[in-house]
Amino acid sequence: MKLKQITFSIFACLILVGCDSRIDAVNQQMANIRNQPPKAIDPAPVFMPVPQFNYAAHQLKSPFLPSSLAAELKIMARKRVYPNFSRAPQPLESYALESLNMKGSIRNNRGQLLALIQSPDQQIEQVQVGNYIGMNQGRITHIGPTQIDLVEIVPDGREGYVERPRTLVLIGPAP
């Protein structure tokens, strides 16, 4: 047992003596780097001045808006329009206008033309001039045999609202 402890101690000493510390080599390399003369810094690049451009098309239509929307907003900008949030919503106002389909039109007993609208849940609703459809308070202004004209109230992007005309066209039966 004592022989094993002595053998183990001698072996451990040999291992520790055999390890070479590389810290001295690292310190020597760092000293060599510090003693080298500093290298020159490249001069800053010279930038050519850009010619000044004066934008003079402020009065023209924006190239970022479709022409119909730009004209629409210009006409409607003079009107002060506000949605009526206190009005009780009608059944077809819970659907996006794009999800509603005009399926036909009928005349009531007074001769007034009514439109038949199909909602996304496949229900058919009758609407007349003055009713509201779509999520932007779209008020029906005219009903024809093949289309419904309405005016929506949408945000103008500048903390106000504008009226936007829309049309819902008759969708025929599926082939």
What are the residues facing 115 on neighbouring strands?
Answer: 105, 127
Q: pTM of the predicted model, to two decimals?
A: 0.54
The pLDDT score that the predictor gives to residue 80 is 73
The pLDDT score that the predictor gives to residue 4 is 81
The parts of the chain modelled with pLDDT lower than 50 are 174-175
Token pair for 51: 């010619």
The pLDDT score that the predictor gives to residue 174 is 43
**Mind listing the domains of the chain with CATH numbers?**
86-169 (2.30.30.830)
Q: Are 134 and 148 in contact (CB under 8 A)?
A: no
Q: What is the DSSP letter of 170?
A: B
Token pair for 110: 């007074």
Token pair for 149: 């004209």
